[in-house]
Amino acid sequence: MPNDLIKISGAVEKLIYQSSDSWYSVCDVCTDDDKSITVVGIMPYVSVGEGIEAEGEWVTNKDYGKQFKVSTYKKTLPKQKNSILRYLSSGAIRGVGAKIAQKIVSQYGEDSFNVIENHPEWLMQINGISRKKAYDISNDFKEKAQIRELMTFSCGAITVNLAIKFAKRWGRNALGVIKENPYLLCLDGNGISFKRADEIAFGFGIASNNAYRIESGIKYVMSVFASRDGHTHVSKETLIDATRKLLGVDEQEIVSVLDKKGGVDGVSQLLIKNVPSVVLNKLYFAEQNIAKRLIKLNKSAVSLGDGNVEYMIMELESRLGIKYAALQKKAIWESIINGVTIITGGPGTGKTTIVKALLQIFGKFGISCALCAPTGRASKRMSEATQSEAKTIHRLLEVTKGEYTDVERFNRDNSNPLDEDVVIVDESSMIDVSLMNALLMALKPGTRLILIGDTNQLPSVGEGNVLNDIIMSESFVTVCLNEIFRQASQSGIVVNAHKINRGEHPDLSEKYDDFFFIQKDDEQIPEYIADLCKNRLPKKYGITDGIQVIAPMKKGICGTQSLNFVLQKELNPSSIQRAEHTAGAERIFRVGDRVMQTKNNYEAEWHTENELLNSQGMGVFNGDVGKIEKIDKVDQIVLVDFLGKKIEYKLSSLDEIDLSYAVTVHKSQGSEYPIVIVPISYKCPPMLLTRNLIYTAITRAEKIVILIGDKTTFFKMIDNNLKQNRNTNLEYLLRSAFNEDN
């Protein structure tokens, strides 16, 4: 620690501001020599009434004057009865408000903290504290002490959720483990940048060419290529170049670590298509397993008899009074006689009609079916369309999470396969390599797999290009639906979506009841969208919750971040009647806000007040949309209602949800909304000006789509059919396996 840092100590008198995201705090401190100073910096969980010992420097803020900027600090709990009461009354401990604090201090005085930490059962002697609440108070007190230590050590780089995970994984030794290996912070999807982990490591004197630093850099770069770009492998040359830029070390030092005996843990070198390449082992083995299992499934399906199938289709047409189109009939036929079938098509091409027919025919044969989709909204839509239960793939596979890691575990696998004889998967273009591998592991031999999707939409957010690779391998029957049916042919959404898919410009002068383009400059778009959402659309269509803004980008005046701020202000403004909580400098959550879950959380407990649903369960998933029902500052929770399933979030764990008045096109995948509004900014980054992105956005609308913005940019998107290349190996593996079997 530099010698010129100043030391101060005192007691926190007033907490002026604290971000629950970055934990940047501003507080007034009464120093030991009885001076009042303003202290600023990263200070997790600092609370009124507690002592503070800090090192830092004096700075002058142009608006607020002289302040003490903290570099490092530690907290001490108050020892005097009045100070203890003040601390407990500040809301520092979840579940303890002013009244409960008064009772605890009255009963136990200066021994209050000892009782809370070591004898929670004694708290049950106080009126109003149940056994559960007593242990919740104690656990929160102890948890925050360790979390505070971890977050203080990392100067706020570790989030609350990550600190909790590390504390569970390594217990009281968590800080020691991280000090020994700071690069654990940026690996395994922990959410810390390599740069931040580097800064912490350098603080411990780790050299830039340290072998473990280089190995961690290699693994980090490979994980970025997978999560950001969707690659399951990259050329060795590409990996070395990217790692060199990240680490700032000589290329030969990277090669030495990569080529060392035993290699890099979790990474392998292979010759792929005659190019020296590097793979993440888990993804390479997943692609291999997908190829092998798909080929085996296709061979192991038991024949139902061609005559029986033909009769079933004819009988169904007669009973329902309909006539299936030729490609629909082919899709039904192939799905019944083959082990693996792929059905693709855009909106209005009859995919749902085919699923309904398959359910009827398989039911006649006494064959059980499971319906599933990658997201909650997609599975809900599938259920509504077919009048049959559909689940997310995660729920179908009975997903759990490791106690100490975010690695998904599935109770359904090759040792405990699914019972159903047919599995029908909708929105299959969204399935990444890891999820497809998990699904196939849970299918017993003889199971029929039917994949339904639209290959013209954006690819999966996760790694790989599974549906496209399966189709391109030409190893399985694929039926491409291209006929738009009568009712759909009258829809501007359907007609223009297909035009866009063919690279044609829609005639924007043509009048439709469900497809509108409104020319506006970027500066006019936010205000116009707010007026549509607040006034014009609810007045005309009687819809409020069914309006969704879907934007190509996050940043900028027409990005989701800016639009969420504007729409929250207009649709759910600040009011003394609506509690709110500030999470970071730029995020305010308010009762009544629409929010979206941004990551899978398998441990989240939900309950419902609907007698027709299960009363309780676990799990909330990336893309689930809900509404904030309650914000409780005393119990430090936010209650969110996800379509009847209610989940409590700690105020310190709001990094899992975000406002969802506006969402990105990527986040909208697998969902449909009654009314969709799409801002089209002429300042949109070139990488987002693509045909499949605007096509995906438009096809999220069930009834009405409104495009607002620049016509020239809209046409540029349609003209640009470039798709991001993903380095995958599945197509090659499928072709090889198929050729070996034939």
Lowest mean pLDDT among 288-292, 646-650, 652-656, 719-723: 652-656
The predicted-structure confidence for 504-546, as pLDDT tens digits, reads as follows 999 999 989 999 999 999 999 999 999 999 999 999 998 888 8
When mean pLDDT is compared across 325-339, 633-647, 703-717, the lowest value belongs to 633-647
**Which token pair is 610?**
């609907």
What is the DSSP code (8-state) at residue 184?
G
Q: Cβ of 664: how many Cβ atoms within 10 Å? A: 17
Separation of CA 291 from chain center: 27
What mean pLDDT do residues 132-138 have? 90
Residue 579 φ/ψ, nearest 5 degrees: -65, 150
User: Comparing 29-33, 394-398, 612-616, which segment has the lowest mean pLDDT?
Assistant: 612-616
Per the listing, tokens 């580097």 go with 198
Q: What is the pLDDT of residue 404?
A: 47
Predicted confidence at residue 584, as pLDDT, reads: 62
pLDDT at residue 4 greater than cutoff 80: no
- Supply the DSSP string of 464-499, one letter for each residue: S-HHHHHHHTT-SEEEEE-PPPHHHHT-HHHHHHHH
pLDDT at 549: 97
Contact between 681 and 708 under an 8 Å Cβ cutoff? The reply is: no
Which of 187-191, 246-250, 593-597, 733-737 has the weakest average pLDDT?
Answer: 187-191
**Residue range 97-125: mean pLDDT, rounded:** 90
- pTM reported for the whole predicted model: 0.80
- 688 contacts 666 by C-beta, under 8 angstroms: no
For residue 75, the tally of other CB atoms under 10 A from its CB is 19
In this predicted structure, what is the pLDDT of residue 656?
84
Q: Are strands 673-680 and 547-551 parallel, antiparallel or unpaired?
A: parallel
Output the pLDDT for position 42: 81
Phi first, then psi: what are they for 544, rounded to 5°? Answer: -125, -60
Summary mean pLDDT of the chain: 87
Determine the average pLDDT of the residues in 388-407.
Answer: 78
pLDDT at 1: 40
Q: Please state the rounded mean pLDDT for residues 359-376.
A: 91
Q: Which residues contact 171 (CB under 8 A, 6 or more apart)?
A: none
Hey, what are 53's tokens?
């010992």
Query: H or E stretch including 395?
Result: helix 393-396
Higher pLDDT, 623 or 188: 623
Which residue from 394, 460, 433, 405 is spatially nearest to 188, judged by alpha carbons?
405
> Backbone phi, then psi, for 357, in 5-degree steps?
-65, -40
Q: Which residue has the tokens 């239960």?
A: 389
Q: What three-state secondary structure class fits 79?
A: coil
The confidence band for 85, taking pLDDT boundaries of 50, 70 and 90, is confident
162-176, 456-470, 663-677: least confident range: 162-176
Alpha carbons 430 and 459: distance in angstroms, whole number: 6
- H helical segments located in 572-700: 665-668, 691-698
Of the pLDDT bands very low, low, confident and very high (cuts 50, 70, 90), residue 161 is low
Of 172-176, 405-409, 505-509, 592-596, which gets the smallest average pLDDT? 405-409
Residue 578 per-residue DSSP state = B
State the average pLDDT over residues 29-53: 85
Mean pLDDT of 611-629: 77
pLDDT reported for residue 489: 66
Query: What is the average pLDDT across 387-396?
Result: 92
Sheet containing 673-680: order of strands: 515-519, 701-709, 673-680, 547-551, 662-664
The pLDDT confidence band at residue 19, using thresholds 50, 70 and 90, is: confident
Q: State the Cα–Cα distance between residues 706 and 68, nearest whole angstrom.
A: 51
CB 553 within 8 A of CB 559: yes
Predicted pLDDT at 141: 84
